Amino acid sequence: MGRFTESAFQMNKEQVLNAYREGNNKGNGYHPYCDMTDDDSIEAAVQAAIEDGAEVVERYSQPEMVVLKMYDGGLIAIADANGAWAVPLD
């Protein structure tokens, strides 16, 4: 993680979606914060990430996706794949 920074975040929705799919196809996807919440929705995962020090960088709809800057400076995207599913954007 860490290739992008919030100030340098210039990805549009299509680029985020492509990076998300590419990372997921490489096996980099995971259920975020499943140990912190019984709710597997995007909003529950985002709220848990915020409580863990993350910041929301961007929100998209159609499909719903949230880009977060994590406490370590890396970026992840969380989307709905039968529950919240996160992929690092690097």
What is the per-residue pLDDT across 29-71, written as a single tens digit (0 to 9) for each? 999 988 777 888 999 999 999 999 999 999 999 889 999 999 9
Cα(9)–Cα(41) distance, rounded to whole angstroms? 25
Q: Which domain holds residue 29?
A: 13-88
Q: What's the whole-model pTM score?
A: 0.86
The total domain count for the chain is 1
In the predicted model, what is the mean pLDDT of residues 69-85?
Answer: 92
10 Å Cβ neighbour count for 79? Answer: 21
10 Å Cβ neighbour count for 10? Answer: 7
In a domain, 8, yes or no: no
Query: What proportion of the chain, given as a percentage, has pLDDT over 70?
Result: 91
In a domain, 5, yes or no: no
Query: What proportion of the chain, given as a percentage, has pLDDT over 90?
Result: 67
For CA atoms 31, 37, 42, 46, the dihedral sign is negative
For residue 75, the model assigns a pLDDT of 93
